[in-house]
């Protein structure tokens, strides 16, 4: 087994906000990407998600009253491009419940790499059009390889449709297609089968996402993610360490020895290095900016979504971004993580 380190910028120092071009927060983190939620509606009701299965989910439709319009989304992206943002990930809920997704992608500034996180149920029939519009990468949520197990986690009978969606993405030329799997008590036993699946299927990669109990209110479902790291290390023929986020990629050989698949663990919980290298600003479906995925006390309205309002809000959010672990959440004398009152008082809006 070989072990390599990928060196990436990881300095964690305070800098002033740059006066032009790309914006940098006071912790030296350049904002190079945005993550835009297009809706909170979802046709799944996953047990680990506290707000899915919401709203009208009969199928793709025009933006709802509480969702940014097509023009609003595009206007925001045009402003982000002014600040040298070079990537956008569209998320939800289920972003493919937006009928205008292809138009949004097509109108996204050319400098931005476009990716999508989806449950995959609407990819059959739409994947080619999404690629034609400019979609470059896709993450498909898939927590199990058995229909009954899948239904138990997602409260959905759409297992076969998800498999069709993954195939449609591959056939449309999206490469790689990443499968997202949240690892917690319900799914931990499915990991070996999923690892074998990506090792046997060219074009697929696996992202094992650490369960975040503080966001779901079910701490008893948590597992020790280090056990998953240790097991993968035993199986891997090569381990790649990414200094940014302190993340590892494990390359697993298939049974025939003529191919291999990549498995990456996304483990942000109690990981100051992960937060120290976060380079994304988030946008909610209603049109609020936020500097941290884990927080809801740093929301910043973009008003009526005019470009001057968007610019002002974007600058403010970047200027006030605080790493979740290590700054917003700090360890007390007992080694437990607790909210740092300094940042709650200084940055949170009433």
What three-state secondary structure class fits 193? helix
User: Cα–Cα distance between 27 and 32 in angstroms, integer?
Assistant: 14
To the question of whether residue 36 is assigned a binding role by annotation, the answer is: no
* Tokens found for residue 13: 């120092």
To the question of whether residue 141 is assigned a binding role by annotation, the answer is: yes
* Tokens found for residue 296: 């809801």
To the question of whether residue 290 is assigned a binding role by annotation, the answer is: no
Closest CA to 93 of 317, 290, 288, 286: 286
To the question of whether residue 138 is assigned a binding role by annotation, the answer is: no
Residue with tokens 């946008």: 283
To the question of whether residue 49 is assigned a binding role by annotation, the answer is: yes
To the question of whether residue 282 is assigned a binding role by annotation, the answer is: yes
To the question of whether residue 48 is assigned a binding role by annotation, the answer is: yes
To the question of whether residue 35 is assigned a binding role by annotation, the answer is: yes
To the question of whether residue 295 is assigned a binding role by annotation, the answer is: no
To the question of whether residue 165 is assigned a binding role by annotation, the answer is: no
To the question of whether residue 248 is assigned a binding role by annotation, the answer is: no
To the question of whether residue 287 is assigned a binding role by annotation, the answer is: no
User: Cα–Cα distance between 220 and 243 in angstroms, integer?
Assistant: 30
User: Cα–Cα distance between 53 and 48 in angstroms, integer?
Assistant: 12
Q: Alpha helix (H) ranges present in the chain?
A: 70-82, 101-107, 127-133, 147-154, 159-171, 191-200, 213-216, 225-235, 272-276, 307-319, 341-347
- Quick one: DSSP state of residue 111? T
Q: What are phi and psi of 9, to 5 degrees?
A: -60, 130
To the question of whether residue 24 is assigned a binding role by annotation, the answer is: no
To the question of whether residue 347 is assigned a binding role by annotation, the answer is: no
Closest CA to 209 of 251, 266, 153, 273: 266
To the question of whether residue 37 is assigned a binding role by annotation, the answer is: no
CB atoms within 10 A of CB 91: 19
To the question of whether residue 88 is assigned a binding role by annotation, the answer is: no
* Tokens found for residue 92: 């939800």
User: Cα–Cα distance between 350 and 329 in angstroms, integer?
Assistant: 19
User: Cα–Cα distance between 87 and 113 in angstroms, integer?
Assistant: 4
Annotated binding residues, written as ranges, equal: 35, 42, 46, 48-49, 89, 93, 117, 141, 178, 275, 278, 280-282, 292
Please report, in range form, the residues annotated as the binding site for S-adenosyl-L-methionine: 48, 93, 141
**Which segments are annotated as binding site for GTP?**
35, 89, 117, 178, 280-282
Q: What residue numbers does the annotated binding site for [4Fe-4S] cluster cover?
A: 42, 46, 49, 275, 278, 292
């Amino acid at each position: 087994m070989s072990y390599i380190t990928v060196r990436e910028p990881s300095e964690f120092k305070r800098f002033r906000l740059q006066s032009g071009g790309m914006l940098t927060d006071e912790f030296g983190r350049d904002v190079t990407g945005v993550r835009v939620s297009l809706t909170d509606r979802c046709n799944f009701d996953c047990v680990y998600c506290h707000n899915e299965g919401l709203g009208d989910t009969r199928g793709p439709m025009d933006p709802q009253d509480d969702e940014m319009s097509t023009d609003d989304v595009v206007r925001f992206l045009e402003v982000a491009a002014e600040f040298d943002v070079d990537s956008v990930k569209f998320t939800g809920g289920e972003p493919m419940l937006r009928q205008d997704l292809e138009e949004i992608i097509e109108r996204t500034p050319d400098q931005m790499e476009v990716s999508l996180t989806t449950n995959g149920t609407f990819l059959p029939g739409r994947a080619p059009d999404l690629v034609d519009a400019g979609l470059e990468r896709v993450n498909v949520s898939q927590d199990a390889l058995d229909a009954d197990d899948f239904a138990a986690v997602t409260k959905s009978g759409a297992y076969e449709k998800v498999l069709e969606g993954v195939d449609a993405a591959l056939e449309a030329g999206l490469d790689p297609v990443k499968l997202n799997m949240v690892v917690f008590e319900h799914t931990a036993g499915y990991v070996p089968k999923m690892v074998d699946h990506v090792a046997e299927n060219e074009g697929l990669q696996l992202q094992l996402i650490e369960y975040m109990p503080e966001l779901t209110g079910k701490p008893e479902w948590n597992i020790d993610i280090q056990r998953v790291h240790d097991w993968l290390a035993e199986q891997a023929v090569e381990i790649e360490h990414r200094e940014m986020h302190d993340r590892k990629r494990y390359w697993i050989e298939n049974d025939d020895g003529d191919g291999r698949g990549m498995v990456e663990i996304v483990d942000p919980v109690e990981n100051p290095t992960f937060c120290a290298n976060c380079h994304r600003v988030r946008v909610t479906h209603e049109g609020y900016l936020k500097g941290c995925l884990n927080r809801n006390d740093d929301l910043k309205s973009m008003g009526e979504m005019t470009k001057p309002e968007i610019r002002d809000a974007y600058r403010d959010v970047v200027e006030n971004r605080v790493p979740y672990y290590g700054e917003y959440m700090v360890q007390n004398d007992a080694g437990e993580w607790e909210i740092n009152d300094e940042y709650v008082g200084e940055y949170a809006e009433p």
